[in-house]
Amino acid sequence: MKQLFLLLVALPAAVFAQKGKPVVVKGQFHMAEQPNMIYLVHYETRKMITDSTEPVNGSFQFTVPVQEPSLSYLRARFARRDEEKGKYRYELLPLFLQPGVTTVTVRDSLKLATVSGSAAHKAYEGYMAAQKPDNDALQRLRRSYVAYREEKNETGMKLVESQMDSVDNHRKEKVVAPYLATHLQSPIALHVLRDYAGYDMDPNKIEPLFKKLPASSKAAPSGLLMKEKIEKAKATSVGNFALNFTQHDTLGHPVSLSSFKGKYVLLDFWASWCGPCRAENPNVVKAFQQYRDKNFTVLGVSLDRADGKEKWLEAIHKDGLTWTHVSDLKFWDNAVAKQYGIEAIPQNLLIDPTGKIIAKNISGEELQAKLKELFN
């Protein structure tokens, strides 16, 4: 299982030339315990927005612009349960918005609310219901994984990781793919396509489906972004030559990928703040030490922040990462990460001496097996 840190992608400014249409979200809580604050998390222009309102007698209303059907979230805050710790109780409801009026009626809890007025949300409910058995299984496995991690039981963690991979593959291929094939005209088709594509998109699978979407969906902000992602995925697919770049190393010296031509290079995207990246680092160190004398090296690209340079350097030293490292310290706006369409870390590409990509996102035992195949 590849545990990843994900980002919310900022859409290009050109995508937002048109203004959004208004959607009204109104609701009523018919509960003994009433919330004291309601939040609506949605997307406006190029950023995530959180609006809030205090309900009056359980009633609330928001009016926000949307440019296309989009997944948002309603969050209700209830009175403090522990006055000393100052903690609130929260409930959450995913809400698929589209222009018009969406009504939310809450009787038992927000997560079990009745939603009407949004065809997109109705479609979303059907989509989520279709994959509920797999999602429930994944949730149980995540709890098991956390328990094993707290016990530092690596054998148990690896077993659960394998089980999670199996369940998620079943969800995508047996539920998401068939759903998408029969719902390409749905207002949530782009959302489902993004889910199916995942962080490591196979353009040969995704592009034919994208081309079958309605013209309005392809011209929507997320449609234009999906088209851009497909092009980046095609450009960085196995068999293509790696895109050249130049960034500064830890001492401020410029380093180009092309300077490594003639070697096998593992181009490794990571960050000091990324837990899964740090957990994978020992495997990369092992590979580097074993094959460094056989024309193999690693080039690390860090997605650390501008104020995190010291933590970046500390992580390199602490984890024993004795290869070349570069970064522009721009977090998710790292120029190389954007060039390669990186939306989750850790990720990597294995590049041969000619500069051709020969593998992507290989880690742990899979990385060892690939290097053994190459060098032994």
Domains and CATH numbers, the chain: 5-118 (2.60.40.1110), 130-235 (no CATH), 246-375 (3.40.30.10)
Tell whether the model's pLDDT for residue 221 goes beyond 90.
no
Degrees, nearest 5: CA angle 275-281-285? 170
d(CA 118, CA 94): 13
Q: State the pTM of this model.
A: 0.83
Which has more confidence, 113 or 11?
113
Backbone angles phi, psi at 27, to 5 degrees: -155, 170
Instruction: Return the minimum-mean-pLDDT range out of 3-7, 88-92, 182-186.
Output: 3-7
* pLDDT value at residue 158: 83
d(CA 12, CA 30): 42
Tokens of 41: 């998390």
Name the pLDDT band for 8 (thresholds 50, 70, 90): very low
User: What are the pLDDT digits (tens) for 151-199?
Assistant: 988 889 889 988 998 999 999 999 999 999 999 999 999 999 999 998 8
* pLDDT value at residue 84: 57
What is the four-CA torsion angle of 366, 369, 370, 374, rounded to 10 degrees? Answer: 170
User: What are the pLDDT digits (tens) for 54-69?
Assistant: 999 999 999 998 888 9
Tell whether the model's pLDDT for residue 16 goes beyond 80.
no
